[in-house]
């Protein structure tokens, strides 16, 4: 079965080969143990797929479903396949040692921005915003543009939560699920062309990809913003028009405004400074989440944070971390040949699968146009609410977004925007396979490579795929 699937991958078109190779076992990749498969699909993926299906169907019990899925996948890998770092509890410990920074960062941001959002709500600024936003559907579109721009400098989770907070106020707590999808899409699209705006683009930068090589992702992201932003704004305006006037007697709490501004400045400064000057630190220290909490605690004496929000925020955060951990355990070991068709397919895969290991594999393989890849894996997760951390974070604020059926029904234009934005990239920029971004000396290891990403990218022929062992994948992630 394995040989037939690998042969099919080598002969299939790139888009078909992507699905075959991502979801098929590889003998070369199974360094610890051969992964059991059912109809050529690793059991790991089947369990993860059932978890995602359970989340989609039982959206009122998402935490229980996610925890059950995580426990099942963990026990399965302990008993049958092992982890990328080895077998048994040692392999699990090694795996989590590589994941703890990402998980801690997410936890810190989700909890911290729950408190930041309440500061922002109580400052009075959201009530005053209608004075500056157009009082028709254009107001909703301008808000999406603001989220898009903010996400280029700040984490997309933070941008989505800030956008959701503003939307809840200016639309009288009646935010259409389609507009929620648009907020998620705007936050993901805004970070796709910036190496400090998204985890995947930061990974590319750490690995040696020039920031200029991902910048043209904005050609597609901007087109996508227009495509999904206008119908989402019109949809929201029909559902609950933007507030035209601020409430009578409304006063702005300027100390709270200062706190919100201070926390955002600290977060943005930490994000830019660390990624610009100390990129290897981001793999070892959850600096962004820590920066937000340091700023929160430093300003607590000025205005007390709403600590009572933390239990519910923690519950939602555990749900997100469970899904992220499940995704990190999946045996994605090789991709088809680098091409625009492969990149397009990766965007759809990113809607249901963690884009971080997919990006790591693409960096290992080399030969991609990094702007196309950044757009695909960055924006692709917007098509389903649990396809990106920004989507899961916003769904904690708006539980109605957890209905996958309603999300797809009312946010259908996100998928259309993804395809049209990708087409715009092809037409306006054109696919250009970038040469390996690291020199490979005689020793076989890139000169000056960091521990976070010791790779030797290589261009491969049109009829080959590249297999990566678990040990090599660990060095990437």
Q: How far is residue 260's CA from residue 375's CA, in Å, rounded to a whole number?
A: 30
Of residues 248 and 362, more confidence is placed in 362
Is the pLDDT assigned to residue 411 strictly greater than 80? yes
Query: Higher pLDDT residue, 351 or 297?
Result: 297
Residue 201, pLDDT score: 82
SS (H, E, C) the chain: CHHHHHHHHHHCCHHHHHHHHHCCCCCCCCCCCCCCEECCEEHHHHHHHHHHHHHHHCCCCHHHHHHHHHHHHHHHHHHHHCECCECHHHHHHHHHHHHHHHHHHHHHHHHHHHHHHHHHHHCCHHHHHHHCCCCCHHHHHHHHHHHHHHHCCCCHHHHHHHHHHHHHHHCCCCCCHHHHHHHHHHHHHHHCCCCCCCHHHHHHHHCCCCCHHHHCHHHHHHHHHHHHHHHHHHHHHHHCCCCCCCCCCCCCCHHHHHHHHHHHHHHHHHHHHHHHHCHHHHHCCCHHHHHHHHHHHHCCCCCCCCHHHHHHHHHHHHHHHHHHHHHHCCCCCEECCCCHHHHHHHHHHHCCCCHHHHHHHHHHHCCCCHHHHHHHHHHHHHHCHHHCHHHHHHHHHCHHHHCHHHHHHHCCHHHHHHHHHHHHHHHHCCCCCCCCCCCCCCCCCCCCCCCCCCCCCCCCCCCCCEECCHHHHHHHC
Q: Which pLDDT belongs to residue 68? A: 94
Confidence tier at 300 by pLDDT (50, 70, 90) = very high
pLDDT band at 25 (very low <50, low <70, confident <90, very high): very low
Q: What is the pLDDT of residue 403?
A: 81
Are the C-beta atoms of 168 and 397 separated by less than 8 Å?
yes
pLDDT of residue 33: 56
pLDDT for residue 234 is more than 50? yes
pLDDT of residue 228: 96
Q: CB–CB of 99/284 below 8 Å?
A: no
- Per-residue buried b or exposed e for 103-139, using 16+ beta carbons within 10 Å of the residue's own CB: bbbbbbbbbbbbbbbbbbbebbbbbbbbeebeeebeb
Q: What is the dihedral angle through the alpha carbons of 400, 404, 406, 410, rounded to the nearest 10 degrees?
A: 110
* Block residue for tokens 């393989």: 365
27-31, 111-115, 314-318, 368-372: range with lowest mean pLDDT:
27-31
- Distance CA(138)–CA(146), nearest Å, equals 12
CB 94 within 8 A of CB 83: yes
Most confident of 48-57, 124-133, 196-205: 48-57
| Region 227-241 average pLDDT | 94
Give residue 55's pLDDT: 77
Give the pLDDT of residue 248.
61
Out of 29-33, 54-58, 327-331, 456-460, least confident range = 456-460
Band (170; pLDDT cuts 50, 70, 90): confident
Q: Look at residue 332 in the predicted model and tell me its pLDDT.
A: 63
Over residues 181-199, the pLDDT tens digits come to 999 999 999 989 987 677 7
When pLDDT is averaged across residues 325-348 and rounded to a whole number, the result is: 82
Residue range 65-105, pLDDT digits in tens: 989 999 999 999 999 888 877 888 998 998 888 888 878 88
* Per-residue pLDDT at 305: 93
pLDDT of res. 335:
67
Confidence band for 233, pLDDT divided at 50, 70 and 90: very high
Range with lowest mean pLDDT among 45-49, 156-160, 330-334: 330-334
pLDDT-wise least confident of 138-152, 222-236, 380-394? 380-394
Q: Which of 161-165, 217-221, 305-309, 373-377 has the lowest mean pLDDT?
A: 161-165
User: Per-residue pLDDT for 469 more than 60?
Assistant: no
pLDDT of residue 245: 65
- Stated pTM of the model: 0.67
Contacts 24+ apart (CB under 8 A), 420-423: 420/223, 420/224, 420/227, 421/189, 421/220, 421/221, 421/222, 421/223, 421/224, 421/227, 421/375, 421/379, 422/220, 422/343, 422/344, 422/347, 422/372, 422/375, 422/376
pLDDT of residue 436: 65
At 134, list the tokens.
């157009």
Span 125-136, average pLDDT: 76
Does residue 272 have a pLDDT over 90? no
Cα Rg of the chain, angstroms: 22
Q: Are 140 and 242 in contact (CB under 8 A)?
A: yes
More confident residue, 113 or 194: 194
Q: CA–CA separation, 21 vs 43, rounded Å?
A: 15
Please give the Cα distance from 14 to 16 (Å, whole number): 6
Q: Which two tokens stand for residue 182?
A: 């648009």
Nearest to 446 by CA among 238, 207, 222, 265: 207
**In this predicted model, which residue has the larger pLDDT, 218 or 39?**
218
Q: Is the pLDDT of residue 168 over 80?
A: yes
pLDDT band at 464 (very low <50, low <70, confident <90, very high): very low
Q: Identify the band that residue 470 occupies on the pLDDT scale cut at 50, 70 and 90.
A: very low
pLDDT reported for residue 28: 35
Question: Quick one: which of 173, 165, 115, 162 has its CA closest to 317?
Answer: 115
Amino acid 247: pLDDT? 60
Given a contact cutoff of 8 angstroms between Cβ atoms, the answer to whether 167 and 143 are in contact is yes
Mean pLDDT of the chain: 78
More confident residue, 89 or 25: 89
Q: Which residue has the tokens 């409304």?
A: 250
Q: Indicate the pairing of strand 37-38 with strand 41-42.
A: antiparallel
Specify the higher pLDDT residue, 13 or 316: 316
Read off the pLDDT band of 232 (50, 70, 90). very high
User: What pLDDT is stored for residue 466 in this prediction?
Assistant: 36
């Amino acid at each position: 079965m394995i040989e037939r699937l690998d042969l099919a991958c080598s002969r299939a078109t790139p888009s078909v080969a992507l699905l075959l190779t991502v979801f098929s076992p590889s003998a070369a990749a199974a360094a610890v143990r051969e992964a059991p498969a059912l109809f050529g699909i690793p059991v790991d993926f089947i369990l993860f797929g059932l978890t995602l299906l359970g989340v989609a169907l039982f959206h009122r019990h998402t935490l229980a479903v996610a925890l059950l899925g995580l426990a099942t996948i963990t026990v399965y890998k302990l008993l049958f396949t092992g982890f990328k770092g080895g077998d048994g509890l040692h392999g699990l410990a090694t795996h989590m040692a590589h994941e703890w920074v990402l998980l801690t960062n997410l936890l810190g941001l989700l909890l911290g921005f729950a408190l930041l959002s309440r500061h922002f709500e109580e400052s009075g600024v959201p009530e005053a915003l209608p004075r500056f936003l157009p009082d028709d559907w254009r107001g909703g579109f301008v808000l999406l543009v603001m989220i898009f721009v903010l996400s280029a400098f700040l984490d997309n989770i933070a941008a989505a939560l800030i956008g959701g907070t503003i939307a809840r106020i200016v639309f009288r707590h009646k935010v259409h699920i389609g507009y929620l999808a648009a907020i998620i899409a705007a936050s993901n699209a805004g970070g796709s062309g910036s190496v400090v705006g998204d985890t995947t683009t930061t990974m590319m930068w750490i690995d040696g990809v020039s920031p200029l090589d991902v910048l043209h992702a904005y050609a597609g992201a901007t087109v996508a913003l227009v495509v999904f932003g206008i119908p989402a704004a019109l949809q929201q305006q029909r559902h609950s028009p933007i507030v035209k006037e601020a409430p009578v007697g409304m006063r702005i709490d300027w100390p709270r405004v200062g706190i919100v501004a201070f926390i955002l400045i600290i977060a943005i400064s930490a994000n830019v400074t660390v990624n610009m000057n100390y990129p290897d630190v981001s793999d070892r220290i959850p600096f962004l989440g820590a920066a937000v909490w340091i700023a929160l605690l430093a300003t607590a004496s000025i205005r007390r944070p709403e600590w009572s929000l933390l239990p519910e925020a923690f519950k939602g955060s555990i749900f997100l971390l469970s899904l992220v951990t499940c995704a990190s355990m999946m045996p994605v070991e090789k991709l088809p040949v680098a091409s625009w068709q492969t990149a397009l397919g990766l965007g759809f895969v990113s809607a249901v699968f963690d884009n971080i290991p997919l990006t790591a594999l693409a960096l290992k393989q080399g030969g991609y146009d990094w702007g196309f890849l950044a757009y695909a894996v960055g924006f692709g997760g917007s098509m389903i609410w649990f396809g990106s951390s920004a989507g899961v974070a916003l769904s904690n604020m708006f539980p109605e977004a957890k209905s996958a059926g309603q999300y797809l029904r009312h946010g259908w234009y996100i998928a259309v925007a993804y395809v049209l934005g990708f087409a715009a990239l092809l037409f306006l920029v054109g696919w250009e396979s970038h040469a390996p971004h690291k020199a490979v000396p005689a020793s076989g290891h890139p000169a000056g490579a960091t521990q976070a990403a010791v790779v030797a990218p290589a261009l491969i022929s049109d009829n080959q795929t590249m297999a990566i062992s678990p040990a090599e994948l660990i060095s990437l992630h």
